[in-house]
Chain A
Amino acid sequence: MMIPQFKYYKPKSLTELKHYLREFQNNSCILAGGTDIVPGFIQESSRFTLIKHLIDINFIDELKTISLADGFISIGSAVTFSEITKNELINKYFPLLAKAAQTVGSLQIRNRATVVGNFVNNAPCADSVPPLLVYDALIKIVSPENENIIPLSEFLLDPYETQLKKNECVTEIRIPILTKDYIGDFYKLGRRSAVSISRISLAFLLHKEEKIIKEFRLASGAITPIGKRFFEIERLFIGREINSETFKEISMKVGEEVLKTTGLRWSTVYKLPVVQQMLYQMLEINAGGIPR
């Protein structure tokens, strides 16, 4: 149970951060909340034991802010879950993200862990991912030479794998402010109510005119290898009338898709009906006629 003998750095600015990223190229790792990395050291996780240079981004002021910009909200990569849950802009514009943030770990963990760290770590169960995906979040990646803005859905590759290269750092999430009215919700099922790892998480947004679905966004976590959007299923239901039959069909389709992605597992017999039922209920409660 040893902490590796990496060198520790705490840049105070983005310029300084880029300097370290250039200097260490492939031997460095970014430290934000540390709630995955520090216990990873203790558990001798192969993902972390070989780190030679650890760059702590908590002292870079501009990465600690949540701000309203032109048409989007910007969340810095050192912003914690506690800051997300308390932030007025997030609660006003992205309530599903605020709701998901509140379910992460415990208060102690939320006081340290960051939203960006949540998806850079890219565990299948990352709670912030389904809401960020339905909000079409973009992320900014900084390297010594470049800055790139890409959709989160493209950034996430496989469990614990992202597009991030060793000499890059995610500095910001940009979430476009919704210009229409949406109905939506986030649902998480864990084995207990606090300090729990998601077994199933779902998020959706729906824009309707009269009784017709005009736009539909749906994402899952934990039941799929990584958090993912169901783009094909979303498209199938544009123009459909909002009623129980439609919601049932959506839920069935999502179940089929999850089964196709993960294959039969020992947990399938339990999880599949729960996913379908929970999604159906979520749609009925929020968009249909069932009272809350």
Chain B
Amino acid sequence: MIINFKVNGKNTSVELTKNKRLIDLLRDNLKLTGTKEGCSIGECGACTVIINGKAVNSCLMLAQQIDGCEILTVEGLAEGDKLNSLQQNFLKYGAIQCGFCTPGMLMSAYALFLENPTPSREEIETAIEGNLCRCTGYKPIIQAIVSTSKP
């Protein structure tokens, strides 16, 4: 089965020779290894990507299901060498320790901004409720997202 989709703005076509999950398509076929696999059962959010504007767990979707969709992964956030403001604020506020949850956190936060450029703190907390971080205690992450919010 051939699937056609857009990933990080680029039209892409992949011939699937066997069934696989979206995360495996991204990491193995497309070498987009910024998307991380943590729990594999939809609980940790490390594999979060944005499909047609919505944050989803790429470990819970089959590759076939993205035929015709538009996907954004963490590799698509920066413009060339320039990090976007959300990424810059993650650095500025030290919202990263081991870094494993960071791509998922960024994608959940970015999906929130696509829908709502000025989210409340509560809306931010809801947006990242599906992203586990075992290092930071969440405070610097929330701070980074709050600071990216456009007043």
Q: Determine whether the beta carbon of A105 is less than 8 Å from that of B21.
A: no
Question: Among B20, B41, B56, which residue has its beta carbon within 8 angstroms of that of A39?
Answer: B41
Q: Determine whether the beta carbon of B64 is less than 8 Å from that of A38.
A: no
Nearest residue (CB) in B for A42 is B40
Q: Determine whether the beta carbon of B56 is less than 8 Å from that of A38.
A: no
Interface size on A, residues (CB 8 A): 29
Question: Among A43, A54, A107, which residue has its beta carbon within 8 angstroms of that of B126?
Answer: A107
Verify if B1 is at the interface (C-beta below 8 Å from A).
Answer: yes
- When distances are taken between beta carbons in the complex, the residues of chain A under 8 Å from B42 are 35, 39, 105-106, 108-109
What are 8 of the A-B contact pairs (CB < 8 Å)? A33-B60, A56-B64, A58-B65, A107-B126, A108-B55, A108-B56, A109-B42, A112-B61
- Residues 250 to 285 of chain A near chain B (Cβ within 8 Å): none
- When distances are taken between beta carbons in the complex, the residues of chain A under 8 Å from B130 are 105-109, 194-195
In whole angstroms, what is the CA distance A238 to B131 when docked? 46
Q: Determine whether the beta carbon of A3 is less than 8 Å from that of B64.
A: no
- When distances are taken between beta carbons in the complex, the residues of chain B under 8 Å from A58 are 65
- Residues 105 to 148 of chain B near chain A (Cβ within 8 Å): 108, 126-127, 129-131
Q: Determine whether the beta carbon of A34 is less than 8 Å from that of B18.
A: no
Q: What 5 additional pairs, Cβ within 8 angstroms, besides A34-B60, A107-B127, A108-B108? A: A3-B19, A3-B20, A3-B62, A34-B62, A109-B130
Question: Among A8, A82, A105, A108, which residue has its beta carbon within 8 angstroms of that of B62?
Answer: A8
- When distances are taken between beta carbons in the complex, the residues of chain A under 8 Å from B67 are 10
Verify if B74 is at the interface (C-beta below 8 Å from A).
Answer: no
Verify if B43 is at the interface (C-beta below 8 Å from A).
Answer: yes
- When distances are taken between beta carbons in the complex, the residues of chain B under 8 Å from A54 are 62
Q: Determine whether the beta carbon of B129 is less than 8 Å from that of A194.
A: yes
In whole angstroms, what is the CA distance A33 to B40 when docked? 16
A38-B60 contact, Cβ under 8 Å, with A107-B126, A111-B54, A195-B130: yes
